[in-house]
Structure 1
Amino acid sequence: MDGTPARTRRRRRRRQGISPSARLMEDDYAAPHLPMDIMYKIPTHISDPASLARLASSSKFWRSLIKDPTFLDCLRRRHRDHGFTPSLLLGFFYQDKSPSDLWKYHIDKTRCLAPSFLRMSELLRFVGSKSARHAIKLLSLETFIPGLGASLNFYKPIASQDSFLVLRRQSEVATPNGQALNDLLCVCNPLTGETFEIPSHRYVPPDHYALFVTNDVDIYGRMSQSFQLTGIWIRKGDRFICVCYSSKSGTWTRSQGVPQLMHDLYLVLSSAAASDDVIHWLCGSWKQMSLIHVATLHISNMKLSYLELPPEAKRNMFPLLGNSADGGILLVMVQGFQMTLWKHNSALGTDSSSWVLSERIDMRSSLPQRVATLEIWAEVRLEMFRGKSGTLVLWVDGEGLFMFSLSDRSMRRIDSANVTKKYFLCPYEIDWLSCLAITNLVVDGSLSLDLEREKAQGRWRTLMGMNLETNGAS
């Protein structure tokens, strides 16, 4: 080959009238000159979806190999077993508008004050006593969804799963008894640029929202994604009432049945972890004044099940739940500077012995030096946990928010000590299928044209904060 970029070669061939079969032959020559059995094995040793996406976009040979249904099925099984995949976390969406922004909005009602996005590439690694600082470039949601304008002003990110993001804004509505709060909801996919306006469910705001994303295959073998947004009210502290919105039907439906917690139990709402049509909560006992169970609500049949916590968790006040890549349950705890990660082994039953201590991590070398020297007076608190990417958000007293990666033990500062939970911080985690779909490996109709595919790849590059090779895309 002459070193000319593939896109330039394609344009030259169109002008010269070269046939499609000849183009395919020329593209095939761009494949590496290795024995075929070795070339077929190379992708099987790559478990990182972002790396596979870049490989697939480099040439037609790799793309045809990776999009083969047999390889995708193997990838799906392998991905569910290999553990944390840090590249699935692209960054954090959050809503925080200073008084100056609000004043500008009163002057100009068309100003876009949608949530902002902080890319992972902007978070430099924190090492010991040195904190890498530089000017962080914040991106607006409008960067990924052009024409958004002021339509999502003051909406706050409240949940995300597999590249979808849920936004909520509370507003006052008139009622016969005066004023009441009502939720305005929107679900969007910054990776594809889609927005879905959700009709009001006409109820008072629920105690919790959960998002479930499903991969669907039509009769032609094309794959797309649908979602279900579930609002949950917990009446009298122990009775569950749910309404569900389906992107397929476009309507809200109320679930049948009102399950009730076992006597003398309470839920820890901040610990909720949703996946595969179930929601897990940490559950405590009023009598023992400690956490004792994981309570699981099955949305499909509105049934409750319980899993006993390991003894170590019952003595910890602030553990967090997460979902593992294989659909299991993870539990993470911090005691002083020691972090422990527990995995539930469903084959062992539902008692405390079904938990396995997976990792014990000493965070002393990762924390700021000032904090590490305080020993027992330092406060490190868990705020968020994402089990697929192995990402933890920690609050370090006097220092602010940090992101800790369970895969490589790296610590990154999210912002200064002024950042608090009022920012409505929401980790944005995608799935491996989205990584492949963005390079047109899985065609759902919206990426069939070159122009649309280039737009999607542009959004991908912006979200990742890096250049994605597209020379071989076609």
Structure 2
Amino acid sequence: MEDDDAAPHLPMDILYKIPTHISDPASLARLASSCKFWRNLIKDPAFLERLRRRHRDHGFTPSLLLGFFYQDKKRSSSDLWKYYIDKTRCLAPSFMRMSELSHFVGNKSARNAIKPLSLETFIPGLGASLNFYKPIASQDNFLVLRRQSEVATPNGQALNDLLCVCNPLTGETFEIPSHRYVPPDHYALFVTNDVNIYGCMSQSFQLTGIWIKKGDRFICECYSSKTGTWTRSQGVPHLMHGLYLVSSSATASGGVIHWLCGSWKQMSLTHIATLHIGNMELSYLELPPEAKRNKAPVLGSSADGGILLLIVQGLQMLLWKHSNALGTDSSSWVLSERIDMRSSLPQRVATLGIRAKVRLEMFRGKSGTVVLWIDEEGLFVFSLSDRSMRRIDSAHVTKKYFLCPYEIDWLSCLAITNLVVDGSLSLDAERQKTQGRWRTLMGRNLATNGAS
């Protein structure tokens, strides 16, 4: 444009509608930087407030995923030796930024220039306090770290886990007291946005430990950041007779935890079991027929609270969505997308066709991020939003790490892209801190995404 203040030559009612169709804060930030007209429109408090209320109706928001925290799966003797030599040495989890992952197209991929950051970069002064802690869960800015004890009691029972919840965006850490029982089978993290009587926002979290006894009984104990104590949930629900639980399939969101279940009689996956933490009740949802014939689907939760189911058939990926508003039977499933991955996969894998070994590892429904394991190639990140593929690293390196995707909440993403300024949205004090601390990191993400 000749004049930075000049508006594009379109009717004003059309111009005002264009940004409302963009849900990703990174894309909004790029549009806002193009000229003053878009910048003034997007930073208008009324526009941001409407967008904040409507963002759940949009699809995936890729910029919510900032990267991956990871830690060695196994404590190496060299790390232990360093720990004993210098107890101030930080061996806390490291962080791999999305902006450092190279794009992969066909058989061409730039060499990864990964420069992992220590958790101490975001939480200064950690020292050795979180050495050997593994990231096990994250939701809306918060990260759960766990250190399992390798020492057992005289009767052979494992000692309690050492737990910590931190917020890398704000640099906060929360020490979690030990619970009364042996380590649970699963941990689930739930984050809520609270508004006080003065209209100020803050975040609180609930960490839930789930014990699955004899494969079909559920016992829960919950830690609340508001009370600072563990509370045993009432009731011990039992899994429906004739079903078995796929414990590794758990996904948590909005106060519920979903698992894939199979039928002992059919010896195949048939249902999704949902545990409602508030009232400790189980509900069931029948899988769509295509998923019942698949051996390794993965579950996810969408921004609007719906259940997402992702399966791989050959070199295609099928995304199914179920909304609670639609009903509870299998007919309420909708095939949302059918994605052909051949143009994104390594050329050697694409030529193998149905013989290629591609396995789903992780799925995050808010950002639309899928982590794939490709045999003899390693781990890759695939975006359901723009169909881009990024290599995490080679098979040799990534086998020794435990990866945990780090997604942030939508309002914090607006803050670190500098779209929220001078009270244009009622940010809490902690989110205001994020604007300066993570702006450089998000700037690198924007530069990388903008070049793609």
Query: Aligning the two structures, in what range does the TM-score lie when normalised by the shorter sequence?
Result: 0.7 to 0.9
Distance 1:65 1:334, change over 3 A: closer
What does 1:250-269 align with in structure 2 at a 5 Å threshold? 250-269=228-247
What does 1:295-444 align with in structure 2 at a 5 Å threshold? 295-420=273-398, 422-438=400-416, 439=418, 441-444=425-428
The answer (yes or no) to whether the contact 1:172–1:182 under 8 Å persists in 2 is: no
Which residue is 1:4 aligned to?
none
Distance 1:64 1:447, change over 3 A: farther
- 2:224 counterpart of 1:246: yes
Which residue is 1:294 aligned to?
272
Please report how far the alpha carbon of residue 423 of structure 1 lies from its aligned counterpart in structure 2 after TM superposition: 1.1
TM-score by length of 1: 0.84
- 2:193 counterpart of 1:209: no
Amino acid paired to 2:71: Q
Q: Specify the SS of the correspondent of 2:336.
A: strand
Q: Specify the SS of the correspondent of 2:159.
A: strand
Q: Specify the SS of the correspondent of 2:262.
A: strand
Amino acid paired to 1:132: A
Cα deviations across residues 280-336 of structure 1 (Å, max 9, x unaligned)?
111111111011111111000001100100011111110000011211011000122
Which residue is 2:159 aligned to?
181
Distance 1:445 1:378, change over 3 A: closer
Amino acid paired to 1:276: G
Cα deviations across residues 150-175 of structure 1 (Å, max 9, x unaligned)?
11100000001111111000125664
Q: Distance in 2 between matches of 1:278 and 1:55?
A: 37
Q: Distance in 1 between matches of 2:407 and 2:351?
A: 34
The answer (yes or no) to whether the contact 1:53–1:435 under 8 Å persists in 2 is: no
Which residue is 2:101 aligned to?
123
2:54 to 78, 102, 105: 78
Q: Distance in 1 between matches of 2:173 and 2:359?
A: 34
Distance 1:43 1:365, change over 3 A: closer
The answer (yes or no) to whether the contact 1:93–1:157 under 8 Å persists in 2 is: yes
Which residue is 1:218 aligned to?
196
Larger CA deviation: 166-175 vs 112-121: 166-175
Distance 1:55 1:151, change over 3 A: farther
Please report how far the alpha carbon of residue 447 of structure 1 lies from its aligned counterpart in structure 2 after TM superposition: 6.5
Q: Distance in 2 between matches of 1:437 and 1:130?
A: 35
Amino acid paired to 2:90: C
2:65 to 89, 95, 98: 89
Cα deviations across residues 349-386 of structure 1 (Å, max 9, x unaligned)?
22221111111122122111122222333210000000
Amino acid paired to 1:232: I
Compare CA radii of gyration and give the structure with the larger one.
Answer: 1
Distance 1:189 1:55, change over 3 A: farther
Which residue is 1:232 aligned to?
210
Cα deviations across residues 101-147 of structure 1 (Å, max 9, x unaligned)?
44332322211001011101011111111122133111111111111
Which residue is 1:14 aligned to?
none
Distance 1:54 1:217, change over 3 A: farther
- 2:128 counterpart of 1:150: yes
Amino acid paired to 2:289: P
Distance 1:55 1:372, change over 3 A: closer
Distance 1:121 1:161, change over 3 A: same
Q: Distance in 2 between matches of 1:461 and 1:394?
A: 28
1:457 to 424, 436, 451: 436
Q: Distance in 2 between matches of 1:155 and 1:237?
A: 27
Q: Distance in 1 between matches of 2:373 and 2:445?
A: 28
Please report how far the alpha carbon of residue 465 of structure 1 lies from its aligned counterpart in structure 2 after TM superposition: 3.1
Aligned length in residues: 433
Q: Distance in 2 between matches of 1:43 and 1:376?
A: 41
Q: Specify the SS of the correspondent of 1:414.
A: strand
